[in-house]
Amino acid sequence: MGKLWDKLRGIREKHRPYCTAIIAAAGQSQRMNGGDKLLMDLHGAPVLMWTLRALDRSSLVDEIIIAARKDLLLEIGDICSRAALTKPIRIIKGGETRLASVLAAAVEADPRAELIAVHDGARPLIRTEMIDDLIRQGNSTFAVAPAVPMSDTIKMADGNGRVTATPDRKTLFAVQTPQVFQSSILKAALQSAMDAGAQVTDDCSAVERLGKEVYLTDGDPENIKITTPLDLVIANAILEQRGGEGV
């Protein structure tokens, strides 16, 4: 019986969808007080290297494409070389916006890609098992993203700072990455948003514009995005607690 299950598992693995992972890495790091956050040291390695290694360890990611700023192409290429990755990896020049960068990378995805997982380069603490779980869920939905419930009370205010509403925080979630999509849906959504000049803050928003359902699943409070110097301090503390996992 054990051999039969091994065979069936092998058949499922053989027919699993090809997945391209896109790393959005073309931002300006405007809130880091100088320097690019992806190149900054995090527990002994550049921030981006942690992100790359997490994706490289995923059993369900088949290739990695990085959308980077033109002035960082060589430095990011060096990081990729030092990371000793096992999966095929390409670096392309990103666009002026996140939307343009992700679209450019999606167009470059392998034609076999049925799924595309889009991840922030500045989220280095993502756990590989979470990546795999999201890809599995993405295979049964149009779009899925990890999210954590908001713990703070959120206020809406006008231009004068006057509170206009207090949304029920039970309906509010902070969305993370990677966000996983059916490839054809994501490409159509990104192109539509580009053509319309739509201001979308994440890739799920582009898919939502097409009227497609987007699902949220449990995120990880440790899967923080490095945006400010304080975030780097917190990330170092988390990795210290993990014992340097992923180095």
Return left, alpha or beta for 10; rule: phi > 0 is left, psi -120 to 50 is alpha, else beta. Answer: alpha
What's this model's pTM, rounded to 2 decimal places? Answer: 0.90
Domain boundaries, the chain: 2-242
Q: What is the pLDDT of residue 3?
A: 54
Amino acid in position 163: V
Residues 6+ away with beta carbon under 8 Å from 205: 193
Count Cβ atoms below 10 Å from residue 211 Cβ, excluding itself: 7
Cβ distance 183 to 106 under 8 Å? yes
Classify domain 2-242 by CATH architecture. Alpha-Beta Complex (3.90)
- Between CA 20 and CA 117 the distance in angstroms is 6
pLDDT tens for the 247 residues of the chain, in order: 445 434 434 444 456 899 999 999 998 777 787 789 999 999 999 999 999 999 999 999 999 999 999 999 999 999 999 999 999 999 999 999 999 999 999 999 999 999 999 999 999 999 999 999 999 999 999 899 999 999 999 999 999 999 999 999 999 999 999 999 999 999 999 999 999 999 898 999 999 999 999 999 999 999 999 999 999 999 999 999 998 665 4
Q: Which residues pair with 65 in a beta bridge?
A: 22, 90
Q: What angle do CA 189, 190, 196 make, to 5 degrees?
A: 90
Cβ distance 3 to 11 under 8 Å? no
